[in-house]
Structure 1
Amino acid sequence: MDTLKNVGNYVSETISGATSTASKEANKNVAKDSDAKLTTRAQAAGDAIGDKIDEQAHERKADVHKEAAKH
């Protein structure tokens, strides 16, 4: 039962990580857009940093659940 739970958590964290990656990339594009307002670009840059932190956290959690599922 624990293995199944760990697999489910692994999948969930992997999906969450992919969502953070997509959001990070979108925010990076906005931050680079010279047609956007400076405040919009600055906010997008800050959001991209937050998304990167979330992305890494989800990847670490996914790895933990993946290892736990093996045992």
Structure 2
Amino acid sequence: METIKNAANYVSESIQGAGATASKEGNKNVAKDSNASLSTRAQAAGDAVSDKFDEQAHNRKADVHNEAAKH
């Protein structure tokens, strides 16, 4: 039963990590857009940094759940 829970948590964290990656990339593109206002670009850059932390956290959790599911 624990293996099933760990596998489900692995999938969930992987999906959340992918979402954070997509958000990060979108924010990076806005931050680089010379047609956007400075405040918009600065906010997008800050959001991209936050998304990067979220991405890494979800990926670490997914790895932990994946390893736990193997045992």
Please report the TM-score for the alignment, with normalisation by the length of structure 1: 1.00
User: What is the RMSD of the two structures over their aligned residues, measured on CA atoms?
Assistant: 0.2
In the alignment, the residues of structure 1 paired with residue 39 and residue 53 of structure 2 have an alpha-carbon distance, to the nearest angstrom, of 21
Where in structure 1 do 4 or more consecutive aligned residues deviate above 3 Å?
Answer: none
What amino acid does structure 2 have at the position aligned with 1:53? F
In the alignment, the residues of structure 1 paired with residue 25 and residue 3 of structure 2 have an alpha-carbon distance, to the nearest angstrom, of 33
Please report the TM-score for the alignment, with normalisation by the length of structure 2: 1.00
In the alignment, the residues of structure 1 paired with residue 41 and residue 49 of structure 2 have an alpha-carbon distance, to the nearest angstrom, of 13
Structure 2 spans left out of the alignment, 5+ residues: none
Structure 1 spans left out of the alignment, 5+ residues: none
For these two proteins, the number of residue pairs brought into alignment is 71
| Per-residue deviation, residues 18-45 of structure 1 (Å, max 9, x unmatched) | 0000000000000000000000000000
In the alignment, the residues of structure 1 paired with residue 25 and residue 64 of structure 2 have an alpha-carbon distance, to the nearest angstrom, of 25
Shift of 1:61: 0.1
Counting aligned pairs with the same residue, the percent is 76
1:1-71 to structure 2, matched below 5 A, reads: 1-71=1-71
